[in-house]
Structure 1
Amino acid sequence: MAKTVFQKVLNRLGDKPANLVFQLSNTPLMRRRLGKRYSRALDRHRPSLPKLEGIDREIVEGLRRDGVFITSLDALGLPGSAEMLRAAQKVAGECTESARRDADAGRQFICAPASATVDNPEIFHWGLDERLLDIAEAYIGLPAAYDGLALIYTVADGTELGPRQWHRDREDRRMIKLAVYCSDVTDQGGPFELISREDRSQGVDDHYVFEFGTEDVLNKRLGPDYSRDIVSCTGPVGTVVFADTARFFHRGAPAFDKDRAALFYGYFARRTRHPYYCQRSGLKPREIADLSKGLSPRQRASALWHKTLPTWLRLIPPAPI
């Protein structure tokens, strides 16, 4: 009972508990400790990393080199892809009217309700395919946590707010966001964009300063010619984009000529550096546990990663997007 009351109090504080712990974890002493622990974990796990072949290896090599790799559902050839895409397009269609109302009301971030994932488990399960977990683990360097998904709907209103501004994600030191386009995306249709130039002003355990990439910030961090390395990920329905959204500035470009619907799956290390900036799918722990029933031990461990955190970290509510 006391734990429940305490949790309710923390929930009322919004992102304040998460931001406080974030600040404490970035004191010089804690940065050094966490950095050493992270380096040891990478060294210990290196001999156990998956051995990849074919397009899976190309994806990891592309992420290491450019921070982004563009392919398609057909090229990946994962089982259940057609069913997943059909379900996602159905959900996107059902969200169209409410998404446009939300956009008219000034809402910056619009995604399908978590209930859509519960009602369409094939969308959730697709992201736990063993090959995807192999790709994520090989790139991240540690066993991968699966943070679920969000179906993000971008209304073609030309606005440049929230995630449509250049930014870096806060979940971990390195991570993968996997986007699946549920509609055709042209250069005027809100493509995912990434600046293929790593922000080296922020080392693995240097100060973590997350700020929108204004022109001044990008010039300072990436150099005045950063625009030469902007990758605009256009493509037809079924286009798949792998990107490291922690190390590289990225955005969903404003949409002008057509609404965009895309699924975004998230992966990072199970012992992520900033767990209180994760869990953004909107799913309740009980719902994730139910969706994970019948899966392999590895898949369940990936989906239920939050359970392995220390108790005090599990009590901190995820910061709102």
Structure 2
Amino acid sequence: MLTLISKGRAKWLRDLPSRVAFNVLNERRLRLWLGQRHAAALNRHSHSLPQMDPLGAAIVDAVNTHGVYVTTLDALGVPGSASLMDLAGPLADDFAEDARTLAAEGQQFIIVPPAEIVRNPQIFRWGLHDRLLDIAESYIGLPVAYDGVVINYTVADGLEIATRQWHRDREDRRMLKIAIYLHEVDDEGGPFECISLPDTVRSDDEGYRYEFGSEDSLRQRLGADFSRDRRSCTGLKGTVVFADTARFFHRGKPATGRDRAALFYSYFANPPRHPFLCERSGISRSEVRHMVNGMPERQRTAALWPSHLPPVLRIIPPASL
């Protein structure tokens, strides 16, 4: 018990700077000023957005309207996708026993150790392909920051905890996440779910607060019939889910029949509104720098986005995972 209390206190102290920064940036006058700057930046960059092919345009339009778009790696056509699956799948399978042990011990958010990604940098670099950066930039409306990748492992214990509850991500005003299923995911296998109704309550005008969405709170914010707009993204191995996890409530449905393993790639504006709530992959900045060494400037700028933050924001440690 004392160990749990000490760990909780250590986490509270570690996250104190990010909580203070979040509150400061959401002070009314400052947030309105930030909102005006953001709108001006969107307007300036609107003429420089990448040209989209039909699939890319369909993805951007669907995510903007409904929060989610489902396709396949084959249809997406990003080079290196077959190698990606050959690398990531066995990493998830090898981690399965450890994941179940961690879940039994009460750990709520379980990912394959980031060191495995660092040892297999192709997994990280796949998310920096121009096709993906083009889609992310076209959706977000600004040059993008790339927050890396995790291999999320969901144990089939049926518990509705952590990211298996309805929530919105906190990193930015809008985000793009790309999930890739590493094996078939049916309704009992913990599919990604999204409520295709944007939550307009949180904004620079209204301020930002984040909490898990209960049935009652979702009914109040999204309407009595919100459940009709719930999209459950089942699919075969290699299914790709594009989703805005900042504007739309989403979750990993609690798995009951079988475990789920999936890659999750994350993108937001460069810089994001809340940089101290980013860097969720567990990969250090020096490891990122090593993995993108020698890549083109666009890729390095996207991956090394923390180094371009104002000094006062750069020194705030990211919040705990």
CA distance in 1, matches of 2:18, 2:286: 22
Which residues in structure 2 correspond to 1:187-206 (within 5 Å)? 187-206=187-206
Q: Following TM superposition, by how much is the alpha carbon of 1:271 offset from its aligned partner in structure 2, in angstroms? A: 1.2
Any conservation in 1 of the 2:31–2:204 contact (CA below 8 Å)? Answer: no
Does 1:173 pair with 2:173?
Answer: yes
* Corresponding residue number in structure 1 for 2:148: 148
Residue aligning to 2:157: 157
> Partners of 2:243 and 2:22 in 1: how far apart?
24
Aligned-residue offset at 1:118: 0.8
Partners of 2:177 and 2:242 within 8 A in 1: yes
* 2:173 and 2:203 in contact (8 A); partners too: no
Alignment correspondent of 2:32 = 32
Distance 1:28 1:168 in 2: 21
Answering whether residue 214 of structure 2 is matched by residue 214 of structure 1, we say yes
Partner of residue 319, structure 1 = 319
Aligned equivalents of 1:48 and 1:85: distance in 2? 33
Q: What is the CA–CA distance in structure 1 between the aligned matches of 2:70 and 2:116, rounded to whole Å? A: 26
Return the offset for 1:48.
Answer: 0.4
Query: In structure 1, what residue type is equivalent to 2:61?
Result: E
Alignment coverage as a number of residue pairs: 312
Cα distance in 2, alignment partners of residues 247 and 114 from structure 1: 27
Q: Which residue number corresponds to residue 247 of structure 1?
A: 247
Displacement after TM superposition at 1:53 (Å): 1.0
Deviations 1:119-172 (A, max 9, x none): 111100110000100000000000010000110000011010000000000000
Q: What secondary structure sits across from 1:151 in the alignment?
A: strand
Output the CA distance in 1 between the equivalents of 2:290 and 2:121.
10
The share of aligned pairs that are identical, in percent, is 53
Classify the secondary structure of the residue corresponding to 1:70. strand
Instruction: Work out the CA distance in 1 between the residues paired with 2:111 and 2:55.
Output: 30
Query: In the aligned structure 2, how far is the partner of 1:207 from the partner of 1:115?
Result: 37
Contact 1:11 1:317 in 2 (8 A): no
Tell me the CA shift for residue 205 of structure 1. Answer: 3.7
Would the aligned equivalents of 2:194 and 2:232 in 1 still touch at CA under 8 Å? yes
Q: Is the 8 A contact 2:32 2:204 kept in 1?
A: no
After TM superposition, list the pairs within 5 Å mapping 1:1-321 onto structure 2: 13-321=13-321
- The TM-score normalised by the length of structure 2 is 0.95
Paired residues of 1:196 and 1:230 also in contact (CA < 8 A) = yes
CA deviation digits over 1:266-290, x for unaligned, max 9?
0000111000010011111111001
Paired amino acid for 1:180: I
Structure 2: distance between partners of 1:285 and 1:268 = 17
Provide closer, same or farther for how the CA distance between residues 163 and 131 of structure 1 changes in structure 2, counting only shifts above 3 A.
same
How far the C-alpha of 1:13 sits from its partner, in A, is: 2.4
Q: Report the CA distance shift for 1:183/1:291 in structure 2 as closer, same or farther (over 3 A).
A: same
Q: CA deviation at 1:86?
A: 1.0
Query: Contact 2:11–2:320 at 8 Å: present in 1 too?
Result: no
Tell me by how many angstroms 1:204 deviates.
4.3
Letter in 1 for 2:210: F
Specify the SS of the correspondent of 2:246.
coil
Is the 2:184–2:235 contact (alpha carbons within 8 Å) kept by the matching residues of 1? yes
- Partner letter of residue 45 of structure 1? H
What is the identity, as a one-letter code, of the residue corresponding to 2:238? G
2:49 partner letter: L
Give the Cα–Cα distance (whole angstroms) in 2 for the partners of residues 156 and 65 of structure 1.
31
Q: CA deviation at 1:247?
A: 0.2
Letter in 1 for 2:136: A
Structure 1 CA distance for aligned equivalents of residues 21 and 164 of structure 2: 27
DSSP 3-state at the match of 1:13: helix
Q: How far, CA to CA, are the matches of 2:58 and 2:17 in structure 1?
A: 40
Q: Which runs of 5+ in 1 are unaligned?
A: 1-9
- Deviation of 1:90 (Å): 1.2
Give the AA of the match of 1:199: D
What is the TM-score normalised by the length of structure 1? 0.95
**Maintained 8 Å contact 1:137/1:143:** yes
Secondary structure at 1:273's aligned position in 2?
coil
Residue 16 of structure 1 and its aligned partner are, at CA, apart by 1.1
Deviations 1:217-273 (A, max 9, x none): 101110111000000000010000000000000000000111000000000001110
- 1-side partners of 2:156 and 2:250: how far apart? 19
How much does 1:11 deviate? 8.7
CA separation of 1:158 and 1:264: change in aligned 2, threshold 3 A = same
